Amino acid sequence: MGDPKPQPSAHLNSVNIKSLILFSLELSPPNFGKWCELFSVLLRHFNLTMHVDDSGSFVGNLDWPQNDSTVVSWIYGSVSNEVLSYILTPGASAHTLWTNTEGLFHDNNQAWIITMEAEFRNTMQGDQPVMAYCQQMKNIADSLGHLSTP
């Protein structure tokens, strides 16, 4: 007899979220769009999207609780302490945390848009190199783009 076949979800335990998403989700400046896209790619890669979009069913899926806990730990491990203080919910499913995190950024969408537009208009190059200034402006514009889309 050979070694027992590893559980399908066992490989997920070794995934270091900080090595795959190199920044934390922050409230200010809001970077939800960028974080969400990278997190979604990760979920698709491991076929775990159904844990956040609630399209799957845990009935009969013995790996569901372990995989859901893994996604929960990935969410907690990829957000700033400030965001964590808003979304931390003992015993929550990945879907609940994902929904709460989206809500944290989308519920205040209009206020963020006003803030980011003002930041965009008031950002000056100053002593920054042109490339650094352009990158800063692009980051603000990207944040606005993510906030403006539902």
Indicate if the pLDDT at residue 64 is higher than 70.
yes
Q: Per-residue pLDDT tens for 2-31?
A: 444 334 466 777 889 999 999 999 988 778
Question: In degrees rounded to 5, what are phi and psi of residue 79?
Answer: -115, 155
What is residue 10's predicted lDDT score, i.e. its pLDDT? 62
In this prediction the pTM is 0.69
pLDDT band at 46 (very low <50, low <70, confident <90, very high): very high
- Please check whether residue 84 is in contact with residue 115, taking contact to mean a CB–CB distance below 8 angstroms: no
Q: Any bridge partners for residue 25, and if so which? A: 79
Sign of CA dihedral 89, 39, 22, 145: negative
What is residue 101's predicted lDDT score, i.e. its pLDDT? 93
